[in-house]
């Protein structure tokens, strides 16, 4: 699959999120478990919502899975206010099954190397609306970059 790479000035997205840790094998189950804890809190408080978002802070040992929110909510247990990072990021859209996103990450990493841009280790995925046909599923992937054009 060919990926269109773009550099964006990322803005904060407000989230209701829950923290976790996982392994590659357990990642899909962990994300669902965390989101299954967040959604009932937002529904109970009737908070306007957007898309599901998963953030990675240097790998799988520290992740947050949550939901974009467009209103205030009260933290409940481990469901807390969070936000995506702001700043320069490289991004691409992946169309297809979630298990096939490695190609998108590889394309982003190749772009960083080719363009002398350094990643911070923080990344996030914004999941589009659900579709039964995996070819209709869009996931926007972002890698936060250091400011400037320092080489690797």
Could you tell me the residue ranges of all domains in the chain?
6-145
SS (H, E, C) 58-69: CCCCCEEEEEEE
Q: What is the pLDDT of residue 88?
A: 97
Distance CA 56, CA 152 (A): 21
Q: How would you write the pLDDT of the chain (152 residues) with one tens digit per residue?
A: 799 999 999 899 999 999 999 999 999 999 999 999 999 999 999 999 999 999 999 989 999 999 999 999 999 999 999 999 999 999 999 999 999 999 999 999 999 999 999 999 999 999 999 999 999 999 999 999 998 654 44
For 36, 49, 53, the CA distances from 43, given in Å and listed in that order, are: 11, 9, 17
- Predicted TM-score of the model (pTM): 0.93
Fold for domain 6-145? Multidrug-efflux Transporter 1 Regulator Bmrr; Chain A (3.20.80)
């Amino acid at each position: 699959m060919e990926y269109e790479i773009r550099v964006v000035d990322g803005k904060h997205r407000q989230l209701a999120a829950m923290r976790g840790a996982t392994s590659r094998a357990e990642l899909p189950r962990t994300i669902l478990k965390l989101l299954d804890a967040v959604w009932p809190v937002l529904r109970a408080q009737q908070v306007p919502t957007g898309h599901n978002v998963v953030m990675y802070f240097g790998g799988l040992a520290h992740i947050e899975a949550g939901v974009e929110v467009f209103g205030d909510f009260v933290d409940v247990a481990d469901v807390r206010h969070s936000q995506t990072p702001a700043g320069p990021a490289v991004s691409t859209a992946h169309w297809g099954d979630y298990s096939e996103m490695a190609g998108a990450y590889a394309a982003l990493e190749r772009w960083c190397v080719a363009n002398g841009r350094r990643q911070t280790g923080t990344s996030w995925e914004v999941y589009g609306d659900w579709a039964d046909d995996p070819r209709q599923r869009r996931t926007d992937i972002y890698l936060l970059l250091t400011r400037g054009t320092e080489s690797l």
